[in-house]
Structure 1
Amino acid sequence: MSTPSSPPTSLSVTKVRLAFECPRLMYLGHHEGGMTMFRAANSNGGGVGLAFHKLCDDCVDCIGSDQAIAQLLTPPATQLDPETLSQQIQQHLYRAVFFPLVQKTVSETPQKVPALNQLWEGITGLIRRWAELLVRNRKFCEPKDVIRKTFLAQELSVKHTFDLPNGDRQLVRGRFDSLVYDFAQQRLCVVEYKTYQATDPAAQLAQVALYSYMLKQKLKVNINSAVYSVLPDWNGVEYPWDLLEDTLHKLIPHKLIQMKSWLAWQQPNPNPPPMTAHLELCNICPQKNKCQTYFETDAIAAPSEPQAPDLMPPDNIPPLVTGAVAESFALDYSKPIQVETLQVESLRVGTVQVESLPIEKPKAQQSRAKPLTATPSPVRSVSTGGAASEASDNVARQLVEVLQAFNVGVDYLGSALGPAFMHVKLMPHLGVRVNTILKFEDDIRVHLGLENPPLMSPQAGFISVDLPRPDRQTAFFRDYFAKGSEKNTAAAKVAIGVDLDGKLIEADLSDSNTCHFLVGGTTGSGKSEFLRSLLLSLIVRHDPTHFKVALVDPKRVTFPEFETMDWLYEPIVKTSEDAIALMERLVAEMEDRYQRFERSRCNDLSTYNQKQSQPIPRILCIFDEYADFMAEKETAKILEQSIKRLGAMARAAGIHLIIATQRPEAKVVTPLIRSNLPGRVALRTATAADSSIILGSKQEAAANLLGKGDLFYSGGRSLQRLQSLYAEGSTIAKSI
């Protein structure tokens, strides 16, 4: 074995990411060389990473130089459809970039041709994202400038010297894939492209946080980040600067100190770099055999002075911001842009001149960079949320006893109570594999007498087990909406449900991540009550002159109390012919509004209403039992096209869709529909396949929800389990 060299004078951002994933693999990669990329057995991204990044760069270069693509952006932004633009750009790039690559590969290395399909599959997902950003930026740029001012740099190198809590300094270098600009948010965004899904989201977050921080030191402005994993399925993960900054100051400084100590270790000294905290990664480690022989047992067990415990990520870091194809770079478009502008004059980034871009200036209290120090958070024995009752503690103890009966050692860390379920935290004993515990799902169900399987998942530092609450509670609408609530606010928020903290979670319809919703749930899931409470949350906050509601209720039982309310856009629709007519009127209304905006030089409804004495009301269309209209092919085709147009373009016009169905089958909720409904609410579904259709990314857990308003919510953040509100008939009568 080679003798380790002294720690390097600089560390790479890639090494920092690897230190979060597995300190030992980082050590071996630095001192011994070899592969350091974890890759699941079913991953399709192996071996195409470098070729994919080269193809990305070639495509962006083509977009910036091809006059035919620039010509596609000459119409006004209100006339541009991101999906259509995406298809047109795909056609140009296929002819100009990809097909020549295929021909060259066939003639030189034909054995590599099958891998090209993977490359193109990944590129098409990125093209959809690029098209969405270009259409949004077109509202702020002339056609000749929009591409140049959107794609600012490719393959940009950054570096920064960090001041560490122990007084040392550490140089960190990195190179990220792309830098883009979002005019709607007046914010730069660092973008990383991945040909695989993240094995450790916390490590991915640390990586992009570093890129944004180091670039900010040069540009002196806040910078968002995004990671797009293109294989085997598209997955977009987006981070606002506030989350990046918070993560950086809590995790990175001490991690850099640890890395220097780990890299300086030599055999046969005690205290080698620790094993990964994610033991499941050992099964997909590229240097598993070398690791087992290199870090010998006697070296690990050798006596030594007490060692400081490994610094784990603080447990109060906000959840990761996640999303799907329909999400956008911008994280919130609902607020009018009222910021000072900072002119970045004559600054050359990579090969592109950044000039006269309005960039958000940090608020006064944030204008000075925080010193890079961190105070480790104390370990909490009970998770946040409602205190565990004696009954719930008894259930948790039974859970531990069941696992111990199978020789699976765990410690009970505490419980948090939602209205419908309890969230139990278990810490596996050292040497107990996480996957081993997850396999006992059926045994737990039998021994605890559960009607549905428990929902189990690994978290940072523990395993969560969601069990039915012994004394299930109801979240009444009246308890969360007091009389005299502020009326007609600019935000168009709707109630989704109550979380483990007892906090009401709401979605803002003016946000691009939650402007339209797909809602699914079988009989008894609480879908109708969810729609009624959501509708009522708008009514109690807005007058009829500020908000209108269009209701489609073919079964005539979901909205009977709302038949005569003043908020109705038109009488409740109950037939397929009337449903088609309603959707066509909404499309016409959308086009009329955009014509008004154009004449008034406004970008969206909020800006337009600020200039008008008589505001235009927002419109929410709730389309219940959508599957009932899909039996007839012609009706289905017409409705699908209307939903596509409204889903793609209606947000800024203040028109929003909620499509609900008991049967979210693939032939009913087609990919075209799903791609235009970014917000998702899954109540209990009849099958795991139905759950995956609603939530995407093979999320099958909605099939095991408890019913009666127990739901999963996905709207620009990580998946949340909530309990929907229950609006009594008397509450509805008093409100309307």
Structure 2
Amino acid sequence: SQSDSAPEVPTVVGEFNETVVMDDDNTVDEAGQSDTENTVKTESSTLSPLFVNKNEDEEEDKEEYADMPLFATDKTVKAQREVADMAPFDPRADLSHYKFPSIEFLRPSSNSGVSVDAQEMEENKIRITDTLNHYGIPISKIEATVGPTVTLYEIIPAEGVRIAKIKRLEDDIALSLAALGIRIIAPIPGKGTIGIEVPNKDPQIVSMRSIIESPTFANSHMDLPMAMGRTISNEVFMADLCKMPHLLVAGATGMGKSVGLNAIIASLLYKKHPAELKFVLIDPKMVEFSLYARLERHYLAKLPEEEEAIITDPMKVVATLNSLCVEMDNRYALLKEASMRNIKEYNDKFIHRHLNPEKGHRFLPYIVVIVDEFADLIMTAGKEVETPIARIAQKARAVGIHMILATQRPSTNVITGVIKANFPGRIAFRVFQMVDSRTIIDRPGANQLIGRGDMLFSNNGKLDRVQCAFIDTPEVSAICDSINEQVGYPSAYELPEYVAEAGDAGKLASVGDRDPLFDECARLVVTTDTASTSSLQRRYSIGYNRAGKIMDQMEAAGIVGPSQGGKPRQVLVDPMTLERILENN
């Protein structure tokens, strides 16, 4: 047995033994049997830890490999399978018992039916035909379509009649019909006819309930459905705010702007769950949106430190709009990380659990910003408001932030080119001047409306005449109360905090940051009694920005008055007072 085992061990032992012999200065006899046995015993005892260590190394390697990508991939696959087995994420789960407002809160329509009888319609047809014939314009056909406030008479002129000839007869036709004012559409887009809109003698009110109850509204699959009212053909008119993507509302005082905004908000409340929609309501008039303060825990968004959810202070408006810009940038960062192009694709991916909430991903509700009196904001806050609004209007559509601006003063210094370029959706209620109509919808027509909710809706060049749905204050109050009584979120949807940069803290620079030329420029301004930025540029050969900054610093020090447009500023101190100001500072 010894001889049998010898050939197996020596191959390892022999090689190893040589090393031992050399290390031990030939003290071991390789030929001796006993020595060999001792060597084998010695070496086997020496080798045994080697094999044990090898096994331990394998265990350690396995522990190391467990953290390596091969094993991590298996874990990831397992986690993905677990996620795939989970039900899709439900954004409404937090408020799963939320009930949408009842239709009973809206008053039923009290209309008696058609506002124009057949006899009146025939009489108007004859008068229009006679008037046109009197001016040598024969027509081959005339048809009438009765709407709630306006009847559309469509005429087909005989061959060879110029349209411009009919357009010039607007006032003559109005005179023959004894109407409040007519509007000629020549030609009607998509039809080979010319339209003459004649106000009804007994206009009907379009109730909000009739719009909400209609199959058109109930079956709509729009992302942000706005039920506006009824068209001339008495059909329910709806528009999708997501497709616009921003809306400009303008009209004279008392012509239906606030009612129109209430109709838009109500139609969104009847369609969208609190998890899917948030409002930022800006109300410089302080009274128009006060009813919606009760929706704070369900539908409103605000800054974390704000007490009131309805923003009425112009200075807080600036902070809120800048905060919305931060929210917009944050949302774009999430879309970029998820490789999605818009909020709809992103939310769909999140609902199917393809995005990890631990990496900051979340369900993004739509945010609708509504400003009730934009002109007042421009007067009080100026360009500080216009800049964030322009940023939101230019970029925010893809991340679900949409804006509605309303104003009763549609002049060009309020509705600037930047605003108009980014607000393709326009609603024009009645205005009194043609130039205002051109500012809103880029064409005349709003000055020919009859008021009381009669409006023109323009979207991407297409113009529709709509009678806005009427919703009264008690109806809005009942809807808000029904939502407020239900369980809501702990607080309003929090917008990210906006930290103003040093340059954004205000135009007026601090005393410590004064320009080296400040004293010399101040003495020049007081001596010459002319506070002009351009004069400082020429005198000291400096740029416009530096000269403007020096002028702002002088305003902060009380040396000159505020800017007056293109005119020089007023100098407020005399040379002696100036020296005292310079010495004290």
TM-score range, shorter chain: 0.5 to 0.7
**Aligned with 1:541 (options 271, 274, 277):** 271
> Is the 2:212–2:218 contact (alpha carbons within 8 Å) kept by the matching residues of 1?
no
- Helix, strand or coil at the partner of 1:574: coil
CA–CA separation in structure 2 for the residues paired with 1:725 and 1:586? 30
Find the counterpart in structure 1 of residue 234 from structure 2: 502
Could you say what secondary structure the match of 2:462 adopts?
coil
Higher radius of gyration, 1 or 2: 2
Shift of residue 450 of structure 1?
2.5
1:419 match: 148
Please give the alpha-carbon distance, in whole angstroms, between the structure 1 residues aligned to 2:338 and 2:421.
Answer: 31
- Asked if the contact 1:416/1:422 (under 8 Å) is kept, the reply is yes
Q: Does 1:678 align with 2:418?
A: no
Question: Structure 2: how far apart are the matches of 1:661 and 1:421?
Answer: 25
Name the amino acid aligned to 2:288: T
Given that 2:180 and 2:199 are in contact with CA atoms closer than 8 Å, whether structure 1 keeps it comes out as no
Q: Partner of 2:184 in structure 1?
A: 455
* CA–CA distance in structure 2, aligned partners of residues 708 and 612 of structure 1: 45
Paired positions, count = 346
Correspondence for 1:629 among 377, 381, 388: 377
Q: Within 5 A, what are the aligned runs for 1:523-672?
A: 523-565=253-295, 566-570=298-302, 571-613=309-351, 615-632=363-380, 635-672=381-418
Whether the 8 Å contact between 1:507 and 1:715 is mirrored in structure 2 is no
**What letter corresponds to residue 458 of structure 2 in structure 1?**
S
1:706 is aligned to 2:444: no
In 1, distance between residues paired with 2:115 and 2:464? 16
Counterpart contact for 1:488–1:546, Cα < 8 Å = no
Matches of 2:222 and 2:131 in 1, distance apart? 52
CA contact (8 A) 2:182 2:199 kept: no
Contact 2:249/2:426, CA 8 A, preserved across alignment? yes
Does the Cα contact within 8 Å between 1:526 and 1:683 map onto a contact in 2?
A: yes
> Is the 8 Å Cα contact of residues 550 and 619 (structure 1) preserved in structure 2?
yes
Once the two structures are TM-superposed, the CA of residue 430 in structure 1 deviates from its matched residue by 4.1
Q: CA deviation at 1:720?
A: 1.4
Which residue of structure 2 lines up, in the alignment, with residue 434 of structure 1? 163
Could you tell me which amino acid in structure 2 is paired with residue 433 of structure 1? R
Contact kept, 8 Å, 2:211 with 2:227, in 1: the verdict is: no
1:687 alignment partner in structure 2: 433
C-alpha spacing 1:487/1:713, structure 2 compared with 1 (3 Å) = closer
Q: Which amino acid aligns with 1:671?
A: G
- Amino acid of the residue matched to residue 589 of structure 1? E
TM-score, length basis structure 1: 0.44
Residues in 2 aligned to 1:488 and 1:549: alpha-carbon distance in whole angstroms: 21
- Ranges in structure 1 where 5+ consecutive residues have no aligned partner: 1-384
Query: What is the CA-CA distance between 1:395 and the residue it aligns to?
Result: 2.4
Which ranges in structure 2 are unaligned for 5 or more consecutive residues?
1-113, 303-308, 352-361, 481-585
Question: Distance between the aligned counterparts of 2:145 and 2:246, measured in 1?
Answer: 31
Distance 2:331 2:384 in 1: 22
Cα distance in 1 for residues equivalent to 2:385 and 2:238: 28
Counterpart AA for 2:328: M
TM-score, length of structure 2 as denominator length: 0.55
Relative to structure 1, the CA distance from residue 507 to residue 456 in structure 2 (aligned partners, 3 Å threshold; closer, same or farther) is closer
Is contact 1:624-1:660 (8 Å) kept?
Answer: yes
Query: 2: distance between equivalents of 1:546 and 1:702?
Result: 35
Post-superposition offset of 1:725? 1.1
SS at 2:173 equivalent: helix
Matches within 5 A, 1:294-333: none
Q: Write the distance in 2 (CA, Å) between the matches of 1:659 and 1:415.
A: 35
Q: Tell me which amino acid in the other structure corresponds to 1:718.
A: K
What amino acid is the match of 1:544? P
CA RMSD of aligned residues (A): 2.6
CA-to-partner distance for each residue in 1:261-296, whole Å, 9 max, x for gaps? xxxxxxxxxxxxxxxxxxxxxxxxxxxxxxxxxxxx
> 2:210: which partner in 1?
479
Give how far 1:486 is off.
6.5
Greater strand proportion: 1
Bigger RCO of structures 1 and 2 (CA < 8 A, at least 6 apart): 2
Q: Which residues in structure 2 correspond to 1:22-171 (within 5 Å)?
A: none
Change (3 A) 1:490 1:441: closer
Deviations for 1:98-123, whole angstroms, at most 9, x for unmatched residues? xxxxxxxxxxxxxxxxxxxxxxxxxx
Other structure's SS at 1:505 match? strand
Return the offset for 1:438: 1.8
Task: Give 1:717 deviation, angstroms.
Answer: 5.4
Distance in 1 (CA, whole Å) between partners of 2:214 and 2:435 is 42
> Does the 8 Å contact 1:498/1:723 carry over to 2?
yes
Decide which structure has greater helix share.
2
Task: Find the residue that maps to 1:394 and give its secondary structure.
Answer: helix
Relative to structure 1, the CA distance from residue 474 to residue 500 in structure 2 (aligned partners, 3 Å threshold; closer, same or farther) is: same
Q: How far does residue 689 in structure 1 lie from its aligned partner after superposition?
A: 1.0
Residue in 1 that maps onto 2:306: none
CA contact (8 A) 2:241 2:247 kept: no
Indicate conservation of the 8 Å contact 1:386/1:500, yes or no: no
Change over 3 Å in CA distance of 1:423–1:486 after alignment to 2: closer
- State the one-letter code of the partner of 2:468: S
Counterpart selection for 1:444 from 151, 159, 173? 173
CA contact (8 A) 2:281 2:311 kept: yes
Q: Kindly provide the CA deviation profile for residues 434-480 of structure 1, in whole angstroms up to 9, marking residues without a partner as x.
A: 32222111222223222334334234433210110222111111112
**2: CA distance, partners of 1:584 / 1:552:** 14
| 3-state SS, counterpart of residue 522 of structure 1 | coil
CA distance in 2, matches of 1:656, 1:409: 49
1:649, 1:606 → 2: CA distance? 16
SS in 1 for 2:186: strand
CA contact (8 A) 2:347 2:363 kept: yes
Shift of residue 705, structure 1, vs aligned partner: 0.9
Letter in 1 for 2:245: C
Amino acid at match of 1:481: I
Q: Call closer, same or farther: CA 1:603–1:387 in 2, change over 3 Å.
A: farther
CA distance in 1, matches of 2:183, 2:214: 38
Moved more, 661-670 or 723-732: 723-732
Measure the CA separation in 2 of the matches of 1:516 and 1:560: 23
Give the whole-Å Cα distance in 1 for the aligned partners of 2:453 and 2:126. Answer: 27
2:212 aligns to what SS in structure 1?
coil
C-alpha distance in 2 between matches for 1:719 and 1:519: 14
The Cα shift of 1:488 comes to: 11
1:638 Cα shift? 1.5
Q: Aligned equivalents of 1:685 and 1:470: distance in 2?
A: 21
Superposed, 1:324-343 pairs within 5 Å as none
Q: Is the 8 A contact 2:154 2:196 kept in 1?
A: yes
Q: 2:129 aligns with which of 380, 387, 400?
A: 400
SS of residue in 2 equivalent to 1:572: coil
Residues 355-374 of structure 1 aligned to structure 2 (within 5 Å): none
Are the counterparts in 2 of residues 713 and 722 from structure 1 also a CA contact under 8 Å? yes
Change (3 A) 1:490 1:423: closer
